[in-house]
């Protein structure tokens, strides 16, 4: 299975190990690929050595060769997305190959339904071309040879990948295409994402029921059952993330830093924690962000809430506020007039628990990630 993701499909994922660049696009390899390579080399190697009467080492070499060809096919599939995205001015952060295929991480969402549709279908189109090309090579080669067997498997796998990925449910490419169509009809990208996400969950359930039935009647092996159920689980989770992100992103326009940011209450460096909290309470600013200033009144540190809570109450009279503060230079800043979309982009690029809200060179408040999460997802906890 192969899928692609732009910045608006789901939260950012850890890409894995960087192994190089292809046409300027960073290429990452998820460690799970090693498991896939070992399984395919072993299982397909055993199959092909019996089919072609090869020595064990010969069969495993053919199995490994098939793994390499398969990964190259997935890479070309993802490059189809990446190159098409670049054609429309969308930057590409990287391509990641993982256990069940791969994904392309883009810097921003498609600007229109038409662009979203074209970028989504570019990958399956590449797989389709590869599949038909490999099928032609298979027909031209003599039967029961290593090259014939490899080309047949490449044709079969690429055609299956193309057909599977155009199924109309997120996180598959067909789901992105469905989202683009609904987006074009309703003029609302979020509605398109939710519709495609729910269809994706339906597909995941259908896959799980189908493979369980095939395993029950003895058509599918245990390995095939586990592998296909893993695909169904991945589809379900990806669709759920898309639905959730669509609901959250609907609330981005509600992000108003002038109202959301907490005011800053300052104390001198060296002040004991207990005294700093007493002063804030006496001033009625117990909900304000606690910060430290130097002798000249310059802001130098911002108290980390988690670090403060970790200090037992009985020790706070003897612990300096500086010991739980982070230097102001290490705290990300966000201008007070930043739009909701840009606030989220900043949070994703600079993970942290607090952000300085600025107006010019002045600090006007502190944005806490917990407050942002409560605004965007009142009933749960936002994961960034």
Find the length of the chain.
384
pLDDT band at 167 (very low <50, low <70, confident <90, very high): very high
**Residue 57 pLDDT exceeds 90:** no
**Pair of tokens at residue 54:** 């090869």
pLDDT in the model for residue 231 = 87
Q: What is the pLDDT at residue 333?
A: 93
The average confidence (pLDDT) of the chain is 88
C-alpha span between 16 and 31 (Å, rounded): 7
* Residue environment code for 75-108, b if the CB has 16+ CB neighbours within 10 A, otherwise e: bbbbbbbbbbbbeeebebbbbbbbbbbbbbbbee
Q: How far is CA 226 from CA 43, 118, 229, in A?
A: 14, 33, 5
Q: What is the pLDDT of residues 98-141, one digit of tens each?
A: 877 888 999 888 999 999 999 999 999 999 999 999 999 999 99
Contact 16, 178 (CB under 8 A): no
pLDDT in tens, 228-275: 888 899 899 999 999 998 999 899 999 999 999 999 999 999 999 999
Q: Which residues lie below 8 Å from residue 148, measured CB to CB, with a gap of 6+?
A: 138, 141, 142
> What are the tens digits of pLDDT across the range 182-217?
999 999 999 999 999 999 999 999 999 998 898 888
3-state secondary structure of 92: strand
Residue 366 has pLDDT above 80, yes or no: yes
Give CA–CA dist 96/82, Å, rounded. 12
Name residues whose C-beta falls within 8 Å of residue 209's C-beta, 6 or more positions apart in sequence. Answer: none
pLDDT digits (tens, 9 = 90+) for 307-359: 889 999 999 999 999 999 999 888 999 999 999 989 998 998 888 899 999 99
Q: Can you give the pLDDT at residue 95?
A: 93
Determine the pLDDT at residue 383.
47
Q: Residue 364: what are its φ and ψ, rounded to 5°?
A: -105, -10
> How far, in Å, CA of 230 to CA of 219, rounded?
18
Both tokens of 6, joined, read 């732009």
Strand boundaries in the chain, DSSP class E: 17-22, 25-29, 92-98, 101-106, 264-268, 289-293, 299-303, 325-327, 333-335, 354-359, 362-368
Which residues have CB under 8 Å from 330's CB, separation 6+?
none
In the chain, which residues fall in CATH 3.10.580.10? 257-376
Domain covering 257-376: architecture: Roll (3.10)
**pLDDT exceeds cutoff 70 at 382:** no
Between 9 and 374, residue with greater pLDDT:
374
Quick one: pLDDT band at residue 222, thresholds 50, 70, 90?
Answer: confident
């Amino acid at each position: 299975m192969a899928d692609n993701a732009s910045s608006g499909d789901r939260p950012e994922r850890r890409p894995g190990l960087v192994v190089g660049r292809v046409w300027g696009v960073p290429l990452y390899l998820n460690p799970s690929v090693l498991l896939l390579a070992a399984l395919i080399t072993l299982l397909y190697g055993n199959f092909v050595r019996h089919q072609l009467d090869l020595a064990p080492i010969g069969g495993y070499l053919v199995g490994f060769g098939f793994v390499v060809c398969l990964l190259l096919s997935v890479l070309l599939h993802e490059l189809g997305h990446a190159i098409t995205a670049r054609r429309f001015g969308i930057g590409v952060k990287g391509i990641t190959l993982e256990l069940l295929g791969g994904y392309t991480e883009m810097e921003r969402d498609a600007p229109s339904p038409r662009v979203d549709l074209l970028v989504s279908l570019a990958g399956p189109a590449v797989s389709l071309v590869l599949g038909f090309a490999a099928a032609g090579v298979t027909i031209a080669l003599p039967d029961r040879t290593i090259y014939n067997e490899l080309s047949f498997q490449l044709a079969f796998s690429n055609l299956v990948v193309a057909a599977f990925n155009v199924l109309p449910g997120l996180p598959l490419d067909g789901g992105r295409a469905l989202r683009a169509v609904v987006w074009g009809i309703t003029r609302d990208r979020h509605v398109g994402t939710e519709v495609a996400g729910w269809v994706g969950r339906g597909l995941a359930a259908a896959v799980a029921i189908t493979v369980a039935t095939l395993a029950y009647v003895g058509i599918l092996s245990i390995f095939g059952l586990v592998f296909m159920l893993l695909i169904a689980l991945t589809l379900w989770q990806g669709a759920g993330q898309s639905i959730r992100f669509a609901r959250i992103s609907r609330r981005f326009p509600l992000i108003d830093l002038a109202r959301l940011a907490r005011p800053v209450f300052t104390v001198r460096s060296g002040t004991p924690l207990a005294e700093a909290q007493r002063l804030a309470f006496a001033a009625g600013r117990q909900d304000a962000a606690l910060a430290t200033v130097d002798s000249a009144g310059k802001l130098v540190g911002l108290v980390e809430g988690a670090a403060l809570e970790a200090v037992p109450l009985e020790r706070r009279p003897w612990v300096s506020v500086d010991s739980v503060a982070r230097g102001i230079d290490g705290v990300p800043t966000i201008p007070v007039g930043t739009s909701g979309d840009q606030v989220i982009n900043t949070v994703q690029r600079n993970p942290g628990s607090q952000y300085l809200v600025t107006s010019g060179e002045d600090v006007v408040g502190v944005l806490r990630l917990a407050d942002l999460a409560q605004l965007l997802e009142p009933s749960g906890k936002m994961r960034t």
